[in-house]
Amino acid sequence: MSESTPEQTVEPTAEHTTPSGAGRTGVARRAVVVGANRIPFARAHGAYANAGNQDMLTAALDGLAARYGLAGERIGEVAAGAVLKHPKDFNLTRESVLGSVLDPRTPAFDVQQACATGMEAVSTLVNKIRLGQIDSAVAGGVDSASDAPVVVSERLRRTLLELNRARSTPQKLKALAGLRPGDLKPVAPGTGEPRTGLSMGEHQALTTARWGISREAQDEFAAASHQHLAAAYERGFFDDLVTPFRGLSRDNNLRPDSSVEKLAGLKPVFGKSLDAEATMTAGNSTPLTDGASTVLLASEDWAAEHSLPVLADVVDVEAAAVDFVHGDEGLLMAGAYAVPRLLARQGLALEDFDFVEIHEAFAATVLSTLAAWEDEQFGRERLGLDGAFGAVDRSRLNVTGSSLAAGHPFAATGGRIVGTLAKLLRERADETGRPARGLISVCAAGGLGVTAVLEAR
Amino acid sequence: MDGDRYEPVVLTDIPSLGGLYARAAAGAAGGLLPRALTDRLPGRAPGRRRGTGGAPGDLPAVAHVVEAVVVDAAGHEAFCRTVGAPLHEGAGGTEAFSGYLHALAFPVAMSVLTRPDFPLPVLGMVHLANEVEHRGSVAVGEDLTVTAHAERLRPHRSGAQVDVVARLTRGDGEPVWTGRSTYLAKGVRVPGTVEESPREEFVPPAPTGHWRLTGGTGRDYAAVSGDWNPIHLSGPTARALGMKQAIAHGMYSASRALAEVGVPPGVPFRWTVEFAAPVPLPGTVAVAITDDGRGAGWRGSRFAGWDPRRRRPHFTGTVVRQEG
């Protein structure tokens, strides 16, 4: 253990190539978003039905490399992950790097934090850059609901392991004796929470009922997501954020003509056995989706040395978790706790943000979070504030659409949102000549949530 | 409960439940078995025969005792895996799960119920409720004495009910676990007045979980509890005994609910469960667990399971911390 305080750090020697700007003053340097690239998101069992996670992540990396001239470049580190992951993909990110145009000497590691995987990948790499351990990084995420791992039943798995351990024929027969025909059926991964057996939709339905979010409000929100995403594509916003893949150039879940009237015709699919009216439909919930996203992160110096632009700084990140297991809080409400903590640390309020991105797992997830923040009792009893946390100006919320329209390939969503928001902030700062600030909140299975503040100078 | 009023009958080994069910079936067959065979069963008191349609006789004033019953590690682990109970490692080793201790004592309890002088027909009896005092941590691998007797034969609005009390004690006589199971024999009349406890209408709370039970749930639980009652095993075996379909073991539901409550390791507690409509297999049960404190600060929980479509209760119960 070193006794030195940050002010007394050892001066790097000439041979010791400490990345510039770090380690000298003890003050962490900035980490910036240079750019981002994703492939269009595709509804499961459609355009990407035969593409695996590695194919999609490699394509997203190659698209990023093409856009920013990274072919043959040794990147400091690449971190990405998938939620639905085959056991053979234990080094998914490294394998994707090896298959990409990046220098094969680029290190990589896998991250997995359910739907917050992409956000955590960004957070970890940003910290490494700020500490001066690396100068450049790519954060990413990928998921395929089409090419999902299918596993054998627990009894068959145990039997096969027992069979493997058995030495004699009688032992082998004994191991097989417990097997029943039903055990041979393959098991597909479920979306149920392991501790509750409730699907994410059923969990959200409880929260939706708790906050009394109406069907109309959810449908309106979903329609707006489609309209905003369509408008953003129309104005070319995604031209430098998306690279075509397997015949798709836009997210194929997008319905530009989506309307409240059309959505009103859909039947509820979640919360049907609750006291409250069932309000959640396939239209105001995200579909299972395939896709991949990447974000290029760097120190300011690295970006300058490579003549690359800077979209925004990643200022701070806060993760939270809620105790949903016996219903103390809703499964997808961790962001409602993380954001107030993050803003308190940064000395910011909701009105200080030009743009707010709340991941649309379900329309009701966003609306429940907003309702909680506007609720005085929630503010006092749950957040320990004097009153309500505050209101989000809806005209600043998910302005280019979000997961309801784009789809939600679990681990790829964080990268999609960081890239989108960084570009929105750059545009705004360039327009106004003033810094622009953005907030991200992404909820995840396990009662998790990861939130971040970005700022374009 | 006063165990001294019961004459101990020491059994040399844990009785086989398969044999006990066969005997119960034989009893139900109305004396079709040769007298020579039924007379050889233990507890057959001369001159005391089960009434044929009239009022049943008294409960046998005996307690069946089995000594040196080992809490088996593999059996315990398989049971815990089936009901989703975590394995807690304590100072003395793996802490035995309370639901498994019920399964350990159950054959001894059944051997009392299937005595020829037991006055109620065992097959078709309905498990109404269970109460357990889980006093101290029992470690896997420990030797325990299992004692079981029947008491409190009393009328119920649709028959007769009886309690079977099972106790687990250490060698020094220290009680570590006591379970009281209440059973109903439908259509049997016994003297006395019915204790009517007002039934509150069941209003389903917000669920905290769903159990999706496969058709194999009863067989899985039978394999780890030893309770091979045919009504739990399959549609055909259940229908052979007059059921519409197979139903889950009450103690599967109770054990799983107890496991999900998540009593902190080393904490003594009391748990109760009341069974309502049986859980059909396969089927989905909506479950709610309401806590008073969580984690180390846990004081107790209520739990309920119900049919999410018909909104009828399957079971309700409590788990309450006891200061040890």
How would residue B27 be classed by pLDDT, with cut points 50, 70 and 90?
low
Check A325 against B290: CB less than 8 A apart.
no
Cβ–Cβ contact A182 with B under 8 A = yes
Angstroms from B313 CA to nearest CA on chain A: 14
Helix, strand counts (H, E) of chain A: 14, 12
| Residue of chain A minimizing CA distance to B212 | A197
- Work out the burial of residue B88: count CB atoms within 10 Å of its CB; fewer than 13 is exposed, 13-18 middle, 19 or more buried: middle
CA pair distance A390, A374, nearest whole angstrom: 5
Of the candidate ranges A30-39, A52-61, B59-68, B190-199, the one whose mean pLDDT is the lowest:
B190-199
Check A197 against B212: CB less than 8 A apart.
yes
CA pair distance B303, A326, nearest whole angstrom: 10
Q: Which residue has the higher pLDDT, B197 or A14?
A: B197
Angstroms from A197 CA to nearest CA on chain B: 5
How would residue B4 be classed by pLDDT, with cut points 50, 70 and 90?
low
Instruction: Tell me which residue in B204, B210, B289 faces A326 most closely, judged by beta carbons.
Output: B289
Written as one letter, the residue type at A223 is A
Q: Which residue has the higher pLDDT, A429 or A275?
A: A429
Helix, strand counts (H, E) of chain B: 7, 13
SS3 A445: helix
- CA–chain centroid gap for A123, Å, is 11
Please determine, for residue A145, whether its predicted confidence score (pLDDT) is greater than 50: yes
Check A196 against B204: CB less than 8 A apart.
no
**Contact A258/A227 with Cβ under 8 angstroms?**
yes
A170-187 burial, b at 16+ Cβ within 10 Å, e below that, comes to eeeeebeeebeeebeeee
Q: What mean pLDDT comes out for the span A222-233?
A: 98
Check A197 against B210: CB less than 8 A apart.
yes
pLDDT in tens, B77-91: 999 999 999 999 988
A197 contacts on B by Cβ (under 8 Å): 209-212
**Contact A134/A106 with Cβ under 8 angstroms?**
no
Give the contacts of B22 (CB within 8 A, at least 6 positions apart): none
Nearest of B241, B230, B253 to residue B18 by alpha carbon: B230
Helix axes B250-261, B73-83, angle to 10 degrees: 80
Which single residue is written with the structure tokens 């070193």?
A2
A177 contacts on B by Cβ (under 8 Å): none
Helix axes B98-113, B217-225, angle to 10 degrees: 80
Check A196 against B208: CB less than 8 A apart.
yes
State chain A's mean pLDDT as an integer. Answer: 92
In order of their start, the domains of chain B are 1-46+57-191 (3.10.129.10), 201-324 (3.10.129.10)
pLDDT in tens, A2-12: 444 444 444 44
Q: What mean pLDDT comes out for the span B128-138?
A: 94
What is the model's pLDDT at position B148? 97
Q: What mean pLDDT comes out for the span B213-240?
A: 93
| Residue of chain A minimizing CA distance to B301 | A326
According to DSSP, the β-strands at B300-306 and B143-156 are unpaired
CA pair distance B249, B20, nearest whole angstrom: 17
Written as one letter, the residue type at B274 is E
How would residue A192 be classed by pLDDT, with cut points 50, 70 and 90?
confident
How would residue B324 be classed by pLDDT, with cut points 50, 70 and 90?
low
Please determine, for residue B271, whether its predicted confidence score (pLDDT) is greater than 80: yes
Check A326 against B211: CB less than 8 A apart.
no
Give the contacts of A420 (CB within 8 A, at least 6 positions apart): A36, A241, A357, A400
What is the model's pLDDT at position A18? 44
Q: Which residue has the higher pLDDT, A128 or B55?
A: A128
Please determine, for residue B44, whether its predicted confidence score (pLDDT) is greater than 50: no
How would residue B34 be classed by pLDDT, with cut points 50, 70 and 90?
very low
Query: pTM (2 decimals)?
Result: 0.87
pLDDT in tens, B170-223: 988 889 999 999 999 999 989 888 877 777 789 999 999 999 999 999 999 999
Instruction: Tell me which residue in A198, A323, A327 faces B210 most closely, judged by beta carbons.
Output: A198
Please determine, for residue B54, whether its predicted confidence score (pLDDT) is greater than 80: no
Please determine, for residue B142, whether its predicted confidence score (pLDDT) is greater than 90: yes
Q: What percent of chain A has pLDDT over 90?
A: 82
What is the model's pLDDT at position B117? 93
What is the model's pLDDT at position B46? 36
The pair of three-digit structure tokens given for residue A241, joined into one six-digit string: 């954020």
Q: What mean pLDDT comes out for the span B128-156?
A: 95
Please determine, for residue A14, whether its predicted confidence score (pLDDT) is greater than 70: no
Cβ–Cβ contact A187 with B under 8 A = no
Q: What mean pLDDT comes out for the span A241-257?
A: 97
Check A198 against B290: CB less than 8 A apart.
no
Check B309 against A206: CB less than 8 A apart.
no
- Give the Å distances, CA to CA, from A98 to A30, A93, A290: 29, 9, 22
Q: What angle do CA B98, B101, B106 make, to 5 degrees?
A: 130
**Contact A272/A88 with Cβ under 8 angstroms?**
no
pLDDT in tens, A309-320: 999 999 999 999
Q: Contacts by A101-104 with C-beta closer than 8 Å and gap 24+? A: A101/A61, A101/A62, A101/A65, A101/A66, A101/A70, A101/A71, A101/A72, A102/A61, A102/A65, A102/A70, A102/A71, A102/A72, A102/A73, A102/A74, A102/A75, A102/A78, A102/A138, A103/A72, A103/A73, A103/A74, A103/A75
Q: Tell me which of A86, A115, A226, A306 is the catalytic residue.
A: A115
Check B208 against A325: CB less than 8 A apart.
yes
Establish, for the pair of chains A and B, how many residue pairs have beta carbons separated by less than 8 Å: 48
Instruction: Tell me which residue in B208, B215, B311 faces A326 most closely, judged by beta carbons.
Output: B208
The pair of three-digit structure tokens given for residue A205, joined into one six-digit string: 């339905």
What is the model's pLDDT at position A23? 46
Nearest of A336, A365, A440 to residue A398 by alpha carbon: A440
Is-catalytic flag, A86?
no
Cβ–Cβ contact A236 with B under 8 A = no
ipTM of the complex: 0.82
B260 contacts on A by Cβ (under 8 Å): 195
What is the model's pLDDT at position A7? 42
pLDDT in tens, A395-440: 999 999 999 999 999 999 999 999 999 999 999 999 999 999 999 9
Is-catalytic flag, A443?
yes
